[in-house]
Amino acid sequence: MSSVIECPGCRSKVNWDGELELKCPYCGEVVSNVQTLLGNNLIERLGIAAGYRRVGRFDDSQQELENILESNKEIVPEALFGCFLNSYEITEYAFGKDSSVNICKCNSTSKRPVEKNRDWQDAKKYSQGKRLEQWTALSKKIEDVRQENIRIKNNLPKYRAIIICDYENDRAKELAHSVYDILSTQTDVFFPPETLKYIKSDEEKDKYLIQAIKNPEIAQLMFVIYSDTFNYRNKAKNFFYNVAGQCREFAKVHTKAELFSVTDDYEASPIMKTISIKTMRCKTFDSSSYNIIAKKILDCIIECAYDYDESEEFENGKIIKLNEDRGLSPKVRPLE
């Protein structure tokens, strides 16, 4: 008798006819020992953990998987493999017909090579057949992407602050460009449309932008410019245009005092207040205010991102460059 279950990999609804193994028609994942997983209520719990992982809530996903591993006497390879995926920040993956990896979205710059990861070592011991073949292929792909991410991170110059905006709002977009034009000649600022202009594809821009945002040593502060209440539901497919996603990623590794709202609304939205305690409210976003807003942002950068000597030198008219060999507010060059 056929029943509908949820794929623990991508959470798609899949028909199951009682086979020992099930292959998801959407992500290609092979699920082994389906009857045992169903009988122990593990399919649903693994699906919950996968749901958290797919939206980048790795801590929540890990907690669910740890609970599974602690509450079951038998080893659960799927839970071990899920812990491994969390370790390398895998939000999405999919397999081809021959167990090749079609999709692997990974933002990790972990220094630990995949083969040194204990959860992956343990998952391999308790897996075999098609499932092990798929997992091995995915682990190799994760290692390739991890190394690429490290190269991208190391290729990024240093900046004092990142400026982002709601690109669907013309007033915010124009203000952000104008503020960048002013600030980029005075301090090191990162503004994605200009800083990443030499990176051609949206996919590649996403890779560079996520590393700039998630690594505090690259930029300490971020200013998000928007007109009217911030729409935290922005779910743009490309990270480059997903301002809400950029704010969420920045907030994971920065303090609430390092993310600034620059808005012409009365105040920041409630959801923004959970990740930021700095609001710069402007009466208007018209051209007469560009220099005033840029000056306020620069004052915040100097206060928060300059040390005492740098601040004193700047006050005496010296422009402080973080990248002497690349100039002020350098554009990112693609990897060779």
Please write down the HEC assignment for all residues of the chain.
CCEEEECCCCCCEEEECCCCEEECCCCCCEEECHHHHHHCCHHHHHHHHHHHHHCCCHHHHHHHHHHHHHHCCCCCHHHHHHHHHHHCCEEEEEECCCCCEEEEEECCCCCCCHHHCHHHHHHHHCCCHHHHHHHHHHHHHHHHHHHHHHHHHHHCCCEEEEEEECCCCHHHHHHHHHHHHHHCCCCCEECHHHHCCCCCCHHHHHHHHHHHHHCCCCEEEEEEEECCCCCCCCCCCCHHHCHHHHHHHHHHHCCCCCEEEEECCCCCCHHHHCCCCEEEECCCCCHHHHHHHHHHHHHHHHHHHCCHHHHHHHHCCCCCCCCCCCCCCCCCCCCC
State how beta strands 30-32 and 21-23 pair.
antiparallel
The tally of CA atoms less than 13 A away on the side-chain side of residue 42 is: 26
CA distance 248 to 86: 17
* Torsion sign, CA atoms 205, 109, 256, 181: negative
Per-residue pLDDT, 171: 87
Per-residue pLDDT, 37: 72
CA distance 146 to 156: 16
Match 């091995």 to its residue by tokens: 136
Q: Phi/psi of residue 166, each to 5°?
A: -80, 105
Per-residue pLDDT, 295: 95
Residue 328 Cα distances to 25, 151, 187, 323, angstroms: 50, 22, 7, 7
List, for residues 134-178, the tens digit of each pLDDT value: 999 999 999 999 999 999 999 999 999 999 998 888 888 999 999
State how beta strands 3-6 and 13-16 pair.
antiparallel
Per-residue pLDDT, 11: 79
Per-residue pLDDT, 306: 96
Per-residue pLDDT, 315: 92
Q: Which residue ranges of the chain lie beneath pLDDT 70? A: 1-2, 20, 34-36, 38-40, 228-235
Q: Are 185 and 178 contacting, i.e. CB atoms less than 8 angstroms apart?
A: no
Residue 209 Cα distances to 23, 72, 101, 192, 332, angstroms: 35, 40, 24, 7, 10
Q: Are 281 and 266 contacting, i.e. CB atoms less than 8 angstroms apart?
A: yes
Per-residue pLDDT, 31: 80
State how beta strands 159-165 and 101-106 pair.
unpaired
Structure tokens that stand for 97 in this block: 């017909």
Per-residue pLDDT, 310: 94
Q: Are 66 and 74 contacting, i.e. CB atoms less than 8 angstroms apart?
A: no
